[in-house]
Structure 1
Amino acid sequence: MTENDLLYTLALQHVPNIGDITAKRLIGHCGSAEAVLKEKKQNLLKIDGIGTITLNDLFKSHHLKEAEKEIQFIKENQLKVLYFKGDSYPEKLKHCIDGPILLFQSGNINLKQQRIISIVGARKITTNGVAFCKKLVETLTPFNPIIVSGFAYGTDITAHKSALKHNLQTIGCLAHGLHTIYPKVHKKYMVDVEKNGGFFTDFWSTDTFNKNNFLKRNRIIAGISEATIVIESAEKGGSLVTADIANSYNRDVFAVPGRTTDSQSVGCNNLIKHQKAHMLSNPLDVPYILNWQLEDNKKPSVQKQLFVELDTTEKTIYNYLKENDKQLLDVIAINCEMPIFKVASILLSMELKGVIRPLPGKLFEAI
């Protein structure tokens, strides 16, 4: 994207009555943001869904002047700008109708890794929630996912810190421009995040910070991710909005269940009850449902796992496979008298321990 292209695209993004959906329609019709701003108003009015109110402010000169100032900020802070039609723009976000036409980035984000998940939840996360979040990230580490969240209090920062601990790339999606950070107490984590990931936002350095920004930010969290995981949530909350957005994008949503008496589990329980989310009781449910496979060089070696300890259910399945050779998942579940979903999670755990191996056709065998 040339600086001239960026100038006009920023100017178009700056117009108050034109959101991302309308901007994409205008660019699609005219070919570029520059062409839009140089087109005659009467021609733009012929575009379906474009009215006089939308175009009222379009041709005012101050949009280009403000765009010039923002380009200066981008240069001074060495930010990257991703255009919605460009190769570097998040692939999954390209398929979201309301994805931003421009995305501002700091850090060393590498989106070539296709396993991208977002982890969201309550700001007042409980100790149980923290423990599950940490265990989730630790368990998923062999699959090398990118961990996305909102860099806020509670669940967000727990997810980011857990990703950093296990050397996973992590992305913070911000509800403000890259001239500041909120909350300020999290500024101490910025350097580490930018070394192994970074930050995304579609807000300018001049945008006023307010609570509505969080709702707009949530579409980026849901949009760039393959799946959204809600750790904890009260009956109402921003993480439930993110889950709804993810559902609207036809992405997988997971929710961690809790006791009906726990206020921070109401939202998650409702997502599960209304079939808006998979129940996430075991971290290994995530790779199973998303059909993630470990790369050969990351699978545990058999030699290292000779003395691995198996729990009672794992021993039952292992002994059955030893006695009966290769077996189908359904057959294992029936003969071991366990639910299929439970057997699937146990088998994945045993695969990670190096005691069984999956075969084509949903067959499994003991090693």
Structure 2
Amino acid sequence: MNEEEKKFALALNEIQDVGIVSIKKLLSKFGSFRNIFNADIDAISSVEGVGIERARRIRNFNEWNKIEKLIEECEKKDIRIYTLMDKDYPKNLREIYDPPVVLFCRGEIIQEDKFGIAVVGSRKMTEYGRRVTEKIAAELALMGICIVSGLARGIDSTAHGAALDRDGRTIAVLGSGVCNIYPPENKRLADRIIQRGAIISEFHPYEPPKKENFPRRNRIISGMTIGTVVTEATLNSGALITSSFALEQGREVFAVPGNITSKNSEGTNYLIKKGAKLVSSVEDILEEIMPFIPSLKDTIKEQEAAPAVILKEDEKAVFDILEEPLNLDEILIKTGLNISNLVDIILKLEIKGLIIKREGRYVRRN
């Protein structure tokens, strides 16, 4: 898209009370942002839901200096501007009912990101939530699947970090501007994400985090992806809002079951009762998304044929005794390791794809 067309898109996005659905209808009639501004008031107002007052606001828009400054600031800060009419605008997001007219982006969105999976959950995660999130996000990233989340504390940050630690791609969708990272302690994580993916927002680059922004950004998290995984969440968690958007958008919803006495698992257990696919391993996700990703079968075959993984001494000790299925207590007794070390070793072996948990017992993968 040429710079002039981008300018008209930003201007239309600024006009009060001209919503996304109305803008989509205007684009459908006039074909471009520029043509909307060049049309007469009668033609604009004739579009369903627009009316004479909104048409006047479009025709009388005069804050072009503000738009020029915004474009200059984005260029200075190396912020990409994707508009709804750009060929590089995220394909899945364009298909939802109310896609953002403009996306501000630090980093880069690539074609393969359309096969992304959202991994979301509670800000106040438990150790269980951390472990399952790391495992799922890491294994998906190793399959070449982009992990999309919201950069929030807890599950979101863990999902981004797990993808990056496996040299995978990840995208963070913000409820603030891309130059106003929230929470502030995630600035370093945001910098890492920019190098291996993107941070994006529909809000102005320096927009502060506002309570009302976060439900809006959740529709983007689900809209960017082919499915949403909720790993741990309370009943009032924003992650359940994201899963609701995913259902409305016709995307897959997955949930990790948890302890029935834990508030942090009430949300995921509720989703499973309502029909979300139960996830006990990454294979549960892969079998559902395989039809959407033609290259996934080849990736799985390559990983199965990959050279043997070199194990550290303590990892090898655990791996060697798992010729037969053992539960955690049995592994503790046989290895003599302490529980915290053993939990970390098991997680690493699971992430490396060497062991799997079946019916409460760990065993080597076939």
Under TM normalisation by the shorter chain, which class is it?
Answer: 0.7 to 0.9
Aligned to 1:288: 287
Whichever residue aligns with residue 293 of structure 1, its letter is K
The percent identity for this pair of structures is 28
Distance 2:303 2:41 in 1: 60
Structure 2 residue 304 is matched with structure 1 residue 300: yes
TM-score by length of 1: 0.80
Whichever residue aligns with residue 126 of structure 1, its letter is T
Distance 1:141 1:79 in 2: 25
Distance 2:142 2:209 in 1: 38
Whichever residue aligns with residue 76 of structure 1, its letter is K
> Residues 107-136 of structure 1, C-alpha deviation per residue, up to 9 Å, x if partnerless?
143233543101110000111000001111
Aligned to 1:68: 68
In structure 2, do the counterparts of structure 1 residues 3 and 137 end up closer, same or farther at CA, with 3 Å as the change threshold? same
Aligned to 2:167: 167
- In the TM superposition, residue 298 of structure 1 has moved relative to its aligned partner by 2.0
Aligned to 2:13: 13
Task: Tell me the secondary structure at the aligned position of residue 225 of structure 2.
Answer: coil
Distance 1:75 1:142 in 2: 33
Distance 2:307 2:154 in 1: 40
- In the TM superposition, residue 63 of structure 1 has moved relative to its aligned partner by 3.7
In structure 2, do the counterparts of structure 1 residues 303 and 130 end up closer, same or farther at CA, with 3 Å as the change threshold? closer
In structure 2, do the counterparts of structure 1 residues 294 and 61 end up closer, same or farther at CA, with 3 Å as the change threshold? same
In structure 2, do the counterparts of structure 1 residues 57 and 207 end up closer, same or farther at CA, with 3 Å as the change threshold? farther
Whichever residue aligns with residue 117 of structure 2, its letter is I
Task: Tell me the secondary structure at the aligned position of residue 204 of structure 1.
Answer: coil
In structure 2, do the counterparts of structure 1 residues 77 and 303 end up closer, same or farther at CA, with 3 Å as the change threshold? closer
1:330-341 matches, cutoff 5 A: none
Distance 1:213 1:296 in 2: 38
Q: Is contact 1:14–1:63 with CA below 8 Å preserved after alignment?
A: no
Question: How many aligned positions are there?
Answer: 318
- In the TM superposition, residue 101 of structure 1 has moved relative to its aligned partner by 1.8
Distance 2:145 2:30 in 1: 38
Task: Tell me the secondary structure at the aligned position of residue 218 of structure 1.
Answer: helix
RMSD of aligned alpha carbons: 2.5
Q: Is contact 2:79–2:106 with CA below 8 Å preserved after alignment?
A: yes
Aligned to 1:204: 204
Aligned to 1:337: none
Aligned to 1:331: none
- In the TM superposition, residue 311 of structure 1 has moved relative to its aligned partner by 4.5
Q: Is contact 1:119–1:156 with CA below 8 Å preserved after alignment?
A: yes
Q: Is contact 1:17–1:55 with CA below 8 Å preserved after alignment?
A: no
| Runs of at least 5 residues in structure 2 that lack an aligned partner in the other structure | 291-295, 310-318, 327-356, 359-363
Q: Is contact 2:92–2:114 with CA below 8 Å preserved after alignment?
A: no
Aligned to 2:106: 106
Q: Is contact 1:143–1:294 with CA below 8 Å preserved after alignment?
A: no
Aligned to 1:156: 156
In structure 2, do the counterparts of structure 1 residues 3 and 138 end up closer, same or farther at CA, with 3 Å as the change threshold? closer
Task: Tell me the secondary structure at the aligned position of residue 88 of structure 2.
Answer: coil
- In the TM superposition, residue 310 of structure 1 has moved relative to its aligned partner by 5.1
> Residues 293-349 of structure 1, C-alpha deviation per residue, up to 9 Å, x if partnerless?
2437623238849x9855549xxxxxxxxxxxxxxxxxxxxxxxxxxxxxxx97xxx
1:71-90 matches, cutoff 5 A: 71-90=71-90
TM-score by length of 2: 0.80
Distance 1:204 1:56 in 2: 24
Task: Tell me the secondary structure at the aligned position of residue 112 of structure 1.
Answer: helix
